[in-house]
């Protein structure tokens, strides 16, 4: 049974991250995802201290709040002329460091160690069960991730055209009256939710891999945004299954194997994508060169 | 029209334009500053309906900035912009915008028809998605710019000129009354340039007002009814024959145009000198 729960949890993480990640990648904000995944940490710890549990709605709200604060501060610094990458670096390391201090100060109360935050404990998800009136409802992480996935799918499909236009051409979006800033923060809110729902399973560092690698893989394989969203989720889920298989064989970190698996899938797409793959492009060039050579011989 | 010309021929310097309720675009005292340096200072002008207006000036003169500020895309530090007598934010449906081609990522996973459809998003409101009617309109606009055969083409596989035509089709589907176009002629082939100017003239014939940021001085006299000369401040505004003179250009560009004589002479005889900045 634990296999089932681990695979389900991993797939839900992959789906949540895969969808919001597509918009991060297309808007060239991959590193913002990295920043948010780290800077929600103080929010998580504070919520933990207040509620004493790690799966409360309070934790979700606190992480959301810190995710939006991060986005806001980065935007503010960029507008005042600080380099974009420097702004990201300043904000997320500072907030993450505050989280580290909080964990070290209150380690005994929070039962939350830094390894768990950084690397996750997906192997243990099925131990943390949600009981409703004495009935076993399954792991809490699955419910939390399921809720997040429903919210993400609902928001993205409801406002698909706004997210699409704001990603492709924010100037036109603003010119036709779409509140671009609102949708920016809405997306960042979804990223924060995806991150905080996933961190318990895969940790704050590896979640970045699932936010960025599956969308980047899908980007190499299609020309359509809708297809890219579907492929991104598919790559993430495939990585979950392959990674879990590998981790059982190797007896190694599950989350680590999952991210390596999606990275391997990315490498495969990078080399063999029918439209942009390195190998395919080289072969095509060679074939064209050969055809040109034959044509010139025939002319003589 | 004549009275307005008199008012705006040297329209810079804080003279408040009469906010005619019928003018498609009335800008008064518009100033924009990035960080400390002003990039646009106290610009005042009012355009006439149904004209093609060229915005001319050296690099860094604030031409794109003026457009973006007039559209409310970037904050201005002072000034008022009225579109048909009302603030821009209330008149979004009347405004079409063609940003610079380089301002978007052409590797975005989408095709030509989809980009044109984006022009309908504004009128669809919050929830509605483009349907069969919008698709038919978008196809019609692609046909008008001669790109109907490329509807399914991934946008990165289009040439620069074709990409620009897709952008124009997107502006057409917006079905606006006032158009802002930021360098639609930049880096396009001769065929596309011809297609674009034909299209602009057709828009004008249908009573639309089109404001175009333009770089090629050789074609100014041929293309535009009015010219707006800009170099941080408004250097001149009025009918092309009156404003597009050597003196005024010298005043706008400073001493940097040794070939002005040639350009204006070439323009007057409608020859394509290809002189650009």
pLDDT at A226: 96
**Average pLDDT for chain B:** 86
The distance between the two most distant Cα atoms of chain A, rounded to a whole number of Å, is: 88
Q: Is A175 on the interface with B (CB under 8 A)?
A: yes
Q: Between these two residues, A52 and B39, which has the higher pLDDT value? A: B39
Write down the ipTM of this complex. 0.86
Q: Which of A161, A177, A223 sits opposite B109 (nearest CB)?
A: A223
**pTM, full prediction:** 0.87
Asked if pLDDT for residue B157 goes beyond 50, the answer is: yes
Any idea what the Cα angle at residue B274 is, between residues B270 and B276, rounded to 5°? 115
pLDDT at residue B20 greater than cutoff 80: no
According to DSSP, the β-strands at B95-98 and B178-182 are: parallel
Across the interface, whether the CB atoms of B109 and A225 are under 8 A apart is answered yes
Instruction: Tell me: pLDDT of B268 over 60.
Output: no
How many interface pairs between A and B have CB atoms less than 8 angstroms apart?
Answer: 77
Topology at the third CATH level for domain A2-299: ABC transporter involved in vitamin B12 uptake, BtuC (1.10.3470)
Residue A150: CB atoms within 10 A of its CB come to: 11
Average pLDDT over residues B196-222: 94
What local confidence, expressed as pLDDT, does residue A63 receive? 85
The candidate with the shortest Cα–Cα distance to A120, out of A255, A214, A282, A269, is A255
Give how far Cα A300 sits from Cα of A294, A295, A296, B17, B124, Å.
10, 9, 7, 73, 61
Query: Residues B242-256: pLDDT tens digits?
Result: 999 888 888 898 866
Residue contact A176–B174, C-beta within 8 A: yes
Residue A55: Cβ-neighbour burial (10 angstroms; 0-12, 13-18, 19+): middle
Indicate the range of A155-164, B84-93, B204-213 predicted with least confidence: B84-93
**In the 8-state DSSP scheme, what is residue B103?**
G
Domain spans of chain A, in order of start: 2-299
Give the pLDDT of residue B242. 93
Closest partner residue to A171 (CB to CB) among B103, B129, B170 is: B103
Confidence (pLDDT) at B44? 96
Q: How far is A236 from chain B (nearest CA, A)?
A: 19
CATH number of B2-264: 3.40.50.300
Confidence at residue B276, expressed as pLDDT on a 0 to 100 scale: 41
- Contact B58/B252 with Cβ under 8 angstroms? yes
pLDDT in tens, chain A (300 residues): 688 999 999 999 999 999 999 999 999 998 888 899 889 888 888 888 887 776 667 888 888 899 999 999 998 998 888 888 899 999 999 999 998 898 888 866 666 666 777 777 787 777 778 877 788 888 888 998 999 999 999 999 999 999 999 999 999 999 999 999 999 999 999 999 998 888 878 887 789 999 999 999 999 999 899 999 999 999 999 999 999 999 999 999 898 999 999 999 999 999 998 877 888 888 888 888 888 888 888 877
């Amino acid at each position: 049974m634990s296999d089932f729960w681990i695979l389900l949890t991993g797939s839900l993480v992959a789906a949540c991250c895969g969808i919001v990640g597509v918009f991060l990648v297309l808007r060239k904000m991959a590193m913002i995802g990295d920043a948010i995944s780290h800077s929600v940490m103080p929010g998580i710890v504070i919520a933990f201290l207040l509620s004493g549990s790690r799966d409360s709605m309070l934790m979700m709200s606190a992480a959301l709040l810190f995710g939006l604060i991060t986005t806001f501060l980065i935007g503010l610094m960029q507008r005042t002329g600080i380099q974009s990458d420097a702004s990201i670096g300043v904000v997320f390391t500072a907030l993450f460091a505050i989280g580290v201090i909080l964990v070290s100060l209150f380690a005994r109360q929070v039962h939350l160690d830094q390894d768990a935050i950084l690397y996750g404990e997906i192997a243990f998800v099925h131990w943390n069960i949600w009981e409703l009136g004495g009935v076993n409802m399954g792991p809490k992480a699955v419910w939390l991730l399921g809720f997040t996935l429903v919210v993400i799918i609902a928001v993205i499909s409801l406002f698909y055209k706004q997210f699409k236009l704001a990603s492709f051409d924010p100037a036109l979006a603003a010119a036709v009256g779409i509140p671009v800033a609102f949708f920016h923060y809405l997306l960042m809110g979804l990223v924060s939710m995806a991150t905080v729902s996933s961190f318990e399973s895969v940790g704050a560092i590896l979640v970045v891999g699932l936010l960025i690698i599956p969308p980047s893989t899908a980007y190499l394989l299609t020309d359509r945004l809708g297809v890219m969203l579907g492929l991104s989720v598919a790559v993430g889920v495939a990585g979950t299954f392959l990674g879990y298989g590998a981790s059982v064989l190797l007896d190694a970190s599950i989350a680590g194997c999952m991210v390596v698996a999606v990275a391997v899938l990315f490498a495969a797409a990078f080399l063999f994508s029918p439209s942009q793959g390195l190998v395919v492009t080289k072969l095509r060039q060679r074939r064209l060169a050969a055809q040109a050579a034959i044509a010139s011989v025939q002319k003589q | 029209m004549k009275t307005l010309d008199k008012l705006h021929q040297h329209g810079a310097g804080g003279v408040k334009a009469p906010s005619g309720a019928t003018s498609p675009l009335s800008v008064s005292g518009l100033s924009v500053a990035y960080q400390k340096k002003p990039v646009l200072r106290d610009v005042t002008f009012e355009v006439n309906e149904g004209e093609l207006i060229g915005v001319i000036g050296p690099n860094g003169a604030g031409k794109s900035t003026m457009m973006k500020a007039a559209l409310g895309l970037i904050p201005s530090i002072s000034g008022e912009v009225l579109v048909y007598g009302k603030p821009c934010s209330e008149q979004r449906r009347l405004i079409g915008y063609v940003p610079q081609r380089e301002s978007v990522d052409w590797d975005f996973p989408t095709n030509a028809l989809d980009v044109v459809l984006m022009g309908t998003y504004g009128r669809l409101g919050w929830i509605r998605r483009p349907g069969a009617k919008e698709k038919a309109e978008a196809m019609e606009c692609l046909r008008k710019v001669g790109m109907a055969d490329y509807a399914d083409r991934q946008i990165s596989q289009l040439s620069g000129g074709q990409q620009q035509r897709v952008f124009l089709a997107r502006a057409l589907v917006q079905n606006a009354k006032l158009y802002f176009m930021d360098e639609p002629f930049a880096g396009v082939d001769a065929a596309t340039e011809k297609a674009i100017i034909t299209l602009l003239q057709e828009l004008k014939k249908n009573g639309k007002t089109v404001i175009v940021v333009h770089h090629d001085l050789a074609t100014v006299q041929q293309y535009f009814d009015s010219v707006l000369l800009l170099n941080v401040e408004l250097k001149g505004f009025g009918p092309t024959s009156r404003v597009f003179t050597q003196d005024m250009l010298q005043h706008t560009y400073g001493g940097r145009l040794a070939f002005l004589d040639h350009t204006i002479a070439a323009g007057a005889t409608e020859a394509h000198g290809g002189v650009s900045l």
